[in-house]
Chains A and B, each alone.
Chain A
């Protein structure tokens, strides 16, 4: 019970004040139970597996640090880590400006913008595997879009050249997730009090000035929320890359999650795969903490109260 109570004690004062009645902590029990069942127990299991050697079929044998040494001494790990970080940074850099601009545009109340918002949202409703299969067919240099339309510019070895394949992954990821983040920004922009813009207009500010002086600063916390989702989410890109490029050509798009899958389920090396899983957890935790620090303590507090 004490273990369950610990997080409650750490909650900010505002929350403890409300929970004095002693009822609210119990509301956390289902979520905590799920967290333990699907978060903590698997984590401990993977940590255990990382010190064993197991082919997925036979007996699990303790093997100490063998798997850790094998993975950490493998240049493939550094490469996969590098590709993962590259995907994370580049996809963030592509998605964020586009999402903000789209979000600001969609925040207007005109009906055609509402229709557009619905259209933009469609990619997010599709499964990543389906998107990957569709793009793979479209980009096929022999039977794809380019060959079908007879446009030479489109006839490239899209998924066969390392730089092109990486760019395609970024493009498809952005295509799918920009709508979602635009929606977040649309909500963020609509929360900005209109009085700020009215005051700025009286002072003679133009559209650009209003965007940079009011909209963008007011979206600070939305940007942090959206970035956290993008950055931590990018660690889990697997199905899209698996179907699109299978990590190829020659490891150019082999991210950590794919590396883990390949070692675990294709090479039957559960020990090294678990080591990579642990590394993924550590990277994810470090990033989440870093973003939280950047956002400051009040990042997740509601901004409406002060407005």
Chain B
């Protein structure tokens, strides 16, 4: 019997099916019926049903879910079906779905470079006129959060949820146990590393397999050593911007920290999606962790009495000796972003806009977000903090965000997806010590402006 053909066929369809599936779908469908995905909420037989995809990490998922549920309850005839997905899986799936004309009505995102690609492909609604008609919606939100939602002077997304600066967390119990003080400079960090290692505790926790976690270190080192101009030059596509002396200095300092065993053993196989990096901090296996403000909520939920017992310390990234950057600067996410698919039906778009106007960051939602230990991007949100059990952390984050001279958007969100992927790959290699700072710079210079 002929058995070569089946094996070849199986192989072909396996290897080719994926890209072509996307290609065919993109060419073939332009129908105005976006799929809802695996919807997990439904409200009877509503006529106008919009769909909404977002990230599944707790406790944020719960807040997002309850906002939709409240909206669905208040609007029996206008329903939103939602699907929650993991971070890295979501990034891929949303792009594929949009490319295939199967986007959800409401597209959750980070703004910046990815939003720009959606805009260039004509896949998201221009919300500028809607914001002009509804100034009350716009004026409630932090003006600074609109930057990453604005492409060529037009607003393509509603800033939502919370601002998330990157914070240096530390475990107070471990610091007391080893008898040391939180670092006030880069020199202090390097001096703390051998002390923690001698005590059998990893100095820093890191979920290195996710790669963007490593990137946060570079974002701060670049800023503290050379100021925000260094990355701005990359963003502005200036030739050889990665070879700036401050950049090379930052890359070298980072590798010095890796070589000194600054990060926990096995960091390059730990993923941030599983929150294993946070667990290392609250279980006392690691003393410090540089991570987004959003991890506060996770540690509060999963860490037992770690947060409630006052064992979690937090601070802004310390200055580097001789660095030019303002130590009040911060990096991270100035907000999350909700866009409306241009392929949605007019009814679905109306549902989405009603959701934006009435449910996103309304008083109850603001309270819920503050309850996760994050600062909602609503003017005067700090008045809601006093009642919160996380008042200290919330005031700290609000202070960082309102005092920062520069609040740089996360690099992988600010750059185009193609450049961001090269960046993340090279950062992983840099942390693995398999490339030198000079090789990193030349690899990255090659994709500037792409």
Contact = CB atoms under 8 A, between A and B. Distances in A.
- A and B found bound together: yes
Interface of A: 7, 11, 15, 34-35, 38-39, 41-43, 45-46, 49, 54-60, 136, 139-143, 157-160, 165, 225, 228-229, 232, 235-236, 245-246, 248-251, 257, 260-270, 273-274, 277, 280-281, 284-285, 288, 292, 300-302
Contact of A49 (B19, B91, B121): B19
B89 to A, nearest CB: 10
A140 B270 contact: yes
Nearest to A15: B2
B269 A165 contact: yes
Contact of B12 (A43, A246, A268, A269): A43
A235 B13 CA distance: 13
A265 B20 contact: no
B158 to A, nearest CB: 20
A142 B18 CA distance: 36
B7 interface: yes
Residue among B18, B96, B422 with the highest chain A CB neighbour number at 10 A: B18
The interface size bin for chain B is 35 or more
Residue among A45, A165, A236, A269 with the highest chain B CB neighbour number at 10 A: A45
Contact of A262 (B99, B117, B122, B421): B421
A55 B265 contact: no
B269 A266 contact: no
Interface stretch (B162-170, B330-338, B357-365, B428-436): B428-436
Contacts of A139: 269
Given A250-B428, A257-B15, A263-B421, 20 more contacts: A35-B5, A39-B12, A42-B20, A42-B24, A55-B117, A55-B417, A57-B118, A58-B117, A60-B23, A139-B269, A157-B269, A160-B265, A160-B268, A229-B7, A236-B14, A249-B269, A261-B18, A268-B95, A288-B4, A300-B1
A38 B92 contact: no
Residue among A38, A235, A285 with the highest chain B CB neighbour number at 10 A: A38
Contacts of B92: 265-266
A142 B7 contact: no
Contacts of A57: 95, 98-99, 117-118, 120-121, 123
B427 to A, nearest CB: 10
Nearest to A164: B269
Contacts of B91: 266
B268 A235 contact: no
Contact of B19 (A158, A160, A273, A292): A273
Given A142-B276, A267-B417, A268-B418, A228 B20 contact: no
A140 B123 CA distance: 41
B13 A42 contact: yes
B17 interface: yes
A39 B1 CA distance: 21
